[in-house]
């Protein structure tokens, strides 16, 4: 008879024990350090595949049949606790690298008991093949980051709209500046940003009171930036362009966006839809609307723009008076950049089509001015791109189609559910991608964005969202399944994001670059020698 020593080495941890194509499961020692969001490698030596999965939950578990083993009286001490008490790990499959090194979607399961390990940076080399070109951060795994795995959003999908979702203080401005800097560096498409606070141009103070830098401080990338400003000192200091919009950039329908209007006022706007701003604005600035209806009816109207006067004859003078007052307010309130003639929108379009970041800097101008500028430029961009598509005789994207991304901060103001007041932005959201115009929708309240607009977004940058309703809306709208990452989204820290885009095969946890450090690195990069690509001599 033999008495055999049993092997006491525990082989049960860190090996795959379940579960399905959509969910992996394994156990680890009860005191092991693993975090939600950690990426793990599952090596399937039988199939020759390397699977990757992201930890979505950690649960205390045991082999004991007694569910209350840990709460019963005097259960403070256990012999060999780690043998039967452990952490159950739930992980979301990301995909697998096959024997040819090609990353594939997780349509199969690893062989039972495949070994689970924490991957090294080299294990993510496959990702460099699927990553895009607009770098925004480095891959995050649980509590740490993989410094050698930069996260880059594919520029080719950005005109299919992008959403940046974050509550205050989660690093939204830092992300946007980093994104802008990368766009300046790569120059793959035009990016329009309207900045009513002046923080993008010259920086300012962060929420914690630290000095922050602006896009002008990314000197190595200045060729990719064009700033139109109303600040004369900044224009001189940084060599910026002056911002000018003229009456012809304006349409009376812009009033819908800026004011709450009555039905009668809407009717006035509708009746003048065919007239340009260069006609409508001078008319209202000069007309005596109190006597206008009577004068037109009596045939005694002798003022300018008789065609406009004719259209307004049927309206009550009080309604016309409100419209007149508001137009005067617009003209006087925006006189720093709004004038009768001489617009730089054409120049803005040119810079956008040269794939630059165009920053519209209107510090201290307020929300109404911001929307006023944004709607006028957006309309002009849409008109230009639509015309361009028509000239080609098709609305499908030609190979050389110019691509522009328009940033809308606090987008719930103009892309909320219902209402026709924000028609230009809605058109852009629903049809813009056909013409190479995308929206970068930035908001703290995704649940207040129209679902139809969210459904058009293909790139989601999800930063900390405290509101459950907001998270659910995002999880339901993203093209990739984010529902299993809710705990991670809930626990995102400042400067962390989950980026889901159709270009990258799975949602990527990202530590967004700290802008100041990022541009310091970019500025320190060796500048391209002018001789590169040129022959160095004569033969």
**Residue ranges binding other proteins (CB under 8 A):** 1-6, 8, 64, 69-70, 72-80
CA 50: distance to chain centroid? 32
Helix or strand run (H / E) with residue 42: strand 39-44
Interaxial angle between packed helices 317-333 and 366-391, expressed in degrees from 0 to 180 and rounded to the nearest 10 = 90
Helix or strand run (H / E) with residue 333: helix 317-333
Joined together, the tokens standing for residue 533 give 């690509």
Q: Give phi and psi for 501, each to the nearest 5.
A: -145, 155
Torsion of CA 343, 346, 351, 354, to 10 degrees: 180
* Separation CA 426–CA 453 (nearest Å): 8
* Minimal distance, residue 63 CB to other proteins, in Å: 10
* Minimal distance, residue 149 CB to other proteins, in Å: 42
Q: Which of residues 68 and 526 has its CB atom nearest to other proteins in the complex?
A: 68
Q: Which of residues 78 and 392 has its CB atom nearest to other proteins in the complex?
A: 78
* Minimal distance, residue 83 CB to other proteins, in Å: 9
* Minimal distance, residue 57 CB to other proteins, in Å: 26
* Separation CA 362–CA 337 (nearest Å): 9
* Minimal distance, residue 79 CB to other proteins, in Å: 5
Q: Which of residues 85 and 411 has its CB atom nearest to other proteins in the complex?
A: 85
* Minimal distance, residue 81 CB to other proteins, in Å: 9
Q: Which of residues 5 and 529 has its CB atom nearest to other proteins in the complex?
A: 5
* Separation CA 158–CA 163 (nearest Å): 10
Q: Which of residues 69 and 259 has its CB atom nearest to other proteins in the complex?
A: 69
Q: Are strands 23-29 and 85-97 parallel, antiparallel or unpaired?
A: antiparallel
- Is residue 19 reached through a cis peptide bond, with omega within 30 degrees of 0 on the bond before it? yes
Joined together, the tokens standing for residue 415 give 């892309």
For residues 295 and 312, the answer to whether their CB atoms sit within 8 Å is: no
* Minimal distance, residue 33 CB to other proteins, in Å: 23
* Minimal distance, residue 71 CB to other proteins, in Å: 10
* Separation CA 160–CA 13 (nearest Å): 44
Query: Which residues are paired to 20 by β-bridges?
Result: 23
Joined together, the tokens standing for residue 44 give 């399937």
Q: Which of residues 11 and 332 has its CB atom nearest to other proteins in the complex?
A: 11
Q: Which of residues 3 and 530 has its CB atom nearest to other proteins in the complex?
A: 3
For residues 425 and 408, the answer to whether their CB atoms sit within 8 Å is: yes
DSSP state of 411: G
For residues 449 and 426, the answer to whether their CB atoms sit within 8 Å is: no
Q: Which of residues 70 and 270 has its CB atom nearest to other proteins in the complex?
A: 70
For residues 248 and 278, the answer to whether their CB atoms sit within 8 Å is: yes
Q: Which of residues 71 and 300 has its CB atom nearest to other proteins in the complex?
A: 71
| Cα radius of gyration rounded to whole Å, the chain | 29
* Minimal distance, residue 115 CB to other proteins, in Å: 24
342: left (phi over 0), alpha (psi -120 to 50) or beta: left
For residues 154 and 133, the answer to whether their CB atoms sit within 8 Å is: yes
* Separation CA 63–CA 72 (nearest Å): 16
Q: Which of residues 71 and 539 has its CB atom nearest to other proteins in the complex?
A: 71
* Minimal distance, residue 62 CB to other proteins, in Å: 10
Q: Which of residues 5 and 99 has its CB atom nearest to other proteins in the complex?
A: 5
* Minimal distance, residue 439 CB to other proteins, in Å: 59
Q: Which of residues 5 and 532 has its CB atom nearest to other proteins in the complex?
A: 5
Q: Say which residues have a Cβ less than 8 Å from residue 219's Cβ, sequence separation at least 6.
A: 523
CB hemisphere CA count around 114 (13 angstroms): 23
Q: Which of residues 73 and 533 has its CB atom nearest to other proteins in the complex?
A: 73
Three-state secondary structure readout of 155-220: HHHHHHCEEEECCCCCCHHHHHHHHHHHHHHHCCCEEEEEECCCHHHHCEECCCCCEECCHHHCHH
* Minimal distance, residue 77 CB to other proteins, in Å: 5
* Minimal distance, residue 68 CB to other proteins, in Å: 11
């Amino acid at each position: 008879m033999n008495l055999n020593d049993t092997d006491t080495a525990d082989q049960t941890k860190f090996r795959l024990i379940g579960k399905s194509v959509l969910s992996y499961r394994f156990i680890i020692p009860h005191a092991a350090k693993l975090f939600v969001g950690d990426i793990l490698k599952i090596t399937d030596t039988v199939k020759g595949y390397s699977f990757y999965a992201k930890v979505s939950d950690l649960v205390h578990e045991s082999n004991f049949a007694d569910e209350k083993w840990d709460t019963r009286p005097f259960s403070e001490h256990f012999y060999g606790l780690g043998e039967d008490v452990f952490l159950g790990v739930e992980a979301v499959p990301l995909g697998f690298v096959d024997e040819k090194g090609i990353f594939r979607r997780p349509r199969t399961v690893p062989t039972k008991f495949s070994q689970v390990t924490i991957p090294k940076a080299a294990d993510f080399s496959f990702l460099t093949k699927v990553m895009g070109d607009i770098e925004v951060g480095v891959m995050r795994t649980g509590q740490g980051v993989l410094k050698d795995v930069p996260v880059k959003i594919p520029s080719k999908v950005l005109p299919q709209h992008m959403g940046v979702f974050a509550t205050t203080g989660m690093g939204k401005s830092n992300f946007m500046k980093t994104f802008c800097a990368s766009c300046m560096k790569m120059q793959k498409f035009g990016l329009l940003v309207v900045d009513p606070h002046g923080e993008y141009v010259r920086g300012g103070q962060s929420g914690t009171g630290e000095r922050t830098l602006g896009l002008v401080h990314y000197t190595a990338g200045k060729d990719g930036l064009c700033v139109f400003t109303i600040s004369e000192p900044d224009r001189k200091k940084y060599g910026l362009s002056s911002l000018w919009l003229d009456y012809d950039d304006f349409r009376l329908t812009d009033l819908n966006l800026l004011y709450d209007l009555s039905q009668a006022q809407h009717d006035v706007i509708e009746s003048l839809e065919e007239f340009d701003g260069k006609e409508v604005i001078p008319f209202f600035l000069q007309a005596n609307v109190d006597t206008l209806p009577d004068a037109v009816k009596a045939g005694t109207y002798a003022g300018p723009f008789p065609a406009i006067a004719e259209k307004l004859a049927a309206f009550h003078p009080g309604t016309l008076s409100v419209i007149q007052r508001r137009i005067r307010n617009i003209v006087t309130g925006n006189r720093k950049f709004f004038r009768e003639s001489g617009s730089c929108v054409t120049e803005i379009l040119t810079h956008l089509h040269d794939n630059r970041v165009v920053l519209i800097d209107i510090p201290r101008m307020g929300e109404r001015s911001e929307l006023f500028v944004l709607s006028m430029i957006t309309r002009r961009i849409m008109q230009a791109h639509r015309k361009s598509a028509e000239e080609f005789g098709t609305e499908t994207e030609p190979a050389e189609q110019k691509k522009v991304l328009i940033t809308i901060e606090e987008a719930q103001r103009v892309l909320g559910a219902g209402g026709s007041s924000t028609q230009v932005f809605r058109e852009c959201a629903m049809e813009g991608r056909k013409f190479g115009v995308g929206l970068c929708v930035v908001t703290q309240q995704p649940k207040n964005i129209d679902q139809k607009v969210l459904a058009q977004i293909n790139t989601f940058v999800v930063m900390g969202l405290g509101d459950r309703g907001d998270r659910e809306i995002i999880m339901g709208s993203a093209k990739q399944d984010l529902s299993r990452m809710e705990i991670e989204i809930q626990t995102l820290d400042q400067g962390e994001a989950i980026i889901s885009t159709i270009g990258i095969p799975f949602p990527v946890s990202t530590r967004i670059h700290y802008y100041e450090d990022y541009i310091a690195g970019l500025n320190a990069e060796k500048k391209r020698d002018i001789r590169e690509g040129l022959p160095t001599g004569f033969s």
